Amino acid sequence: MSQQENLSGRLIVTTAADQHDQKFPALIRLANNQFCCQRCQMINDQSVYTIYPGLFYCPACLGLGRLTNQDYLLAYPEQNNFSIPVSPLTWTGTLTHKQQQISQKLCQVHQQKQEHLVWAVTGSGKTEMLFAMIAQAVVQGDRIALVAPRVDVCNELYPRIKAAFKAVSICLLHGQGAEIYHYTQILICTVHQLLKFRQAFDLLVLDECDSYPYVNNLMLHQAVRQALKLRHTLIYLSATPSWEYQQRIAHQQLNYSLLNRRFHGQDLPEPQFRLIYAQHVGKLNRQLCRCLSNLVQIQQRFLLFVSSIRQAELLSQLIKQQLPQLKQTFVHAKDPLRGSKIQAFREGKWQALVTTTVLERGVTFFDIDVIVWQADSPRFNTQTLVQIAGRAGRSAQHSDNQVIFFAEKYTQAINQAICQIRKLNHD
């Protein structure tokens, strides 16, 4: 494979100034002393980000390496140079009738090069519904990106896609090391990694499109647009579409498919609300302690969600003091052992994880209850609470897992989350 084929669709930084039809300045000067970065499309004030007179840089995409007005970008055109298997899909599972309908709709959307939202409850089998469309794109020689805002979602998605498309080249790319980039037909990556591509993908699937850090982030929205070819298919996946997507649907600017049932056909676990009474600093709340003791007694595994890293560490310590028989630990986004702790919990080595919202979405565990401590915290909005509740009841054998919201007051977010889940169950 030639160097250009290996770099197809990528943006490469260079300081060379010779002319090339794919080469252009990294930063373009605008009026009013401003400039536009050609990697992230963000506009900034030149005087604020000056290194020394005549040299300035882009702060928005600094995490991918500093770009200055003395740098150039090379954009290699996409080659779509793949070895295409006759039967790319090696998955042998089956879809429900409703899943099959959405799967067929996605194949039509791909053929027509459109944008489409799949609004599907947590645990409904969104990934499996994509398989037929991805197989169709592979056979047509398209380049495909499966993208999510968070590393954990990408890590969970990668082995499932590898198993379903064993003969197709696949690469996993994110900022925590994953793999060294190599040219493949399917790329699984975080949204930030799309800043390295320009007009590279025929089909792009954006999972968890309502999730931080993608939601309300103009730079990441631009990254998605920049990574797509002019004629493309863009699929959004969400269990809790944001107001922006719902408005686009209401104004008929975006078509969508709705799936309000999980693959096993059972109701989503409806959260129970429990009012917190007096709390004592430095001690585990009695109501919470009683709840956890019951779970220890019946050997039920669970996730305990809290609103901050500090609270996760503190609560884990208090549980260790008062319930030493409970095998548990804490995890959060900045935890260097996050991956190994999550895997250990998945393998049953821990009975419980005390966690921040880092595990609110994109991860699947077998037979777990879910508890949210201080669910009335501003950190827990309606979408977050619905996603957290969605970690429970994901298997047919244990569709009735408990979800409990502990709070000092019954907030609008708690009410809306419970009402939304109730409505989905009865639609």
pLDDT-based confidence at residue 1 (cuts at 50, 70, 90): very low
pLDDT-based confidence at residue 18 (cuts at 50, 70, 90): very low
Give percent above pLDDT 90 in the chain. Answer: 62
The pLDDT of residue 28: 92
pLDDT-based confidence at residue 17 (cuts at 50, 70, 90): very low
The pLDDT of residue 388: 94
Q: At residue 295, does pLDDT exceed 90?
A: yes
**Of 109 and 246, the one with more pLDDT:** 109
| Cβ-contact 227, 200 below 8 angstroms | yes
Rounded Cα gap, residues 106 and 100, in angstroms: 10
Q: Give burial (CB, 10 Å; 0-12/13-18/19+) of 304.
A: buried
Mean pLDDT, the chain, rounded, equals: 89
> Span 317-336, mean pLDDT?
92
CA–CA distances in Å: residue 213 to residues 121, 143, 222? 21, 25, 13
Beta strands in 332-384 (DSSP E): 352-355, 369-372
Rounded Cα gap, residues 90 and 161, in angstroms: 10
Rounded Cα gap, residues 149 and 125, in angstroms: 19
| Cβ-contact 208, 237 below 8 angstroms | yes
- The CA-based angle 303-308-339, given to 5 degrees, is 55
Task: Name the phi and psi angles at 416, rounded to 5.
Answer: -65, -40
pLDDT in tens, 80-107: 989 888 899 999 999 999 999 999 999 9
pLDDT-based confidence at residue 7 (cuts at 50, 70, 90): low
pLDDT-based confidence at residue 291 (cuts at 50, 70, 90): very high
> Span 326-348, mean pLDDT?
91
Q: Which amino acid is residue 299, in one-letter code? A: Q
The pLDDT of residue 277: 82
> Span 104-121, mean pLDDT?
95
pLDDT in tens, 42-59: 999 988 898 888 899 999
Rounded Cα gap, residues 224 and 190, in angstroms: 11
276: tokens are 């917190």
pLDDT-based confidence at residue 227 (cuts at 50, 70, 90): very high
The pLDDT of residue 125: 84
The pLDDT of residue 103: 96
pLDDT in tens, 206-224: 998 888 888 889 999 999 9
Q: At residue 133, does pLDDT exceed 60?
A: yes
> Span 395-402, mean pLDDT?
86
The pLDDT of residue 179: 80
76: tokens are 């290699």
pLDDT in tens, 253-269: 999 998 887 777 688 89
Q: At residue 294, does pLDDT exceed 90?
A: yes
- The CA-based angle 404-406-411, given to 5 degrees, is 105
Rounded Cα gap, residues 302 and 160, in angstroms: 24
Q: At residue 13, does pLDDT exceed 80?
A: no
The pLDDT of residue 20: 45
3-state secondary structure of 407: strand
Other C-beta atoms lying within 10 Å of the C-beta of residue 423: 10
Q: At residue 2, does pLDDT exceed 50?
A: no
Q: At residue 19, does pLDDT exceed 60?
A: no
The pLDDT of residue 278: 67
Rounded Cα gap, residues 75 and 20, in angstroms: 10
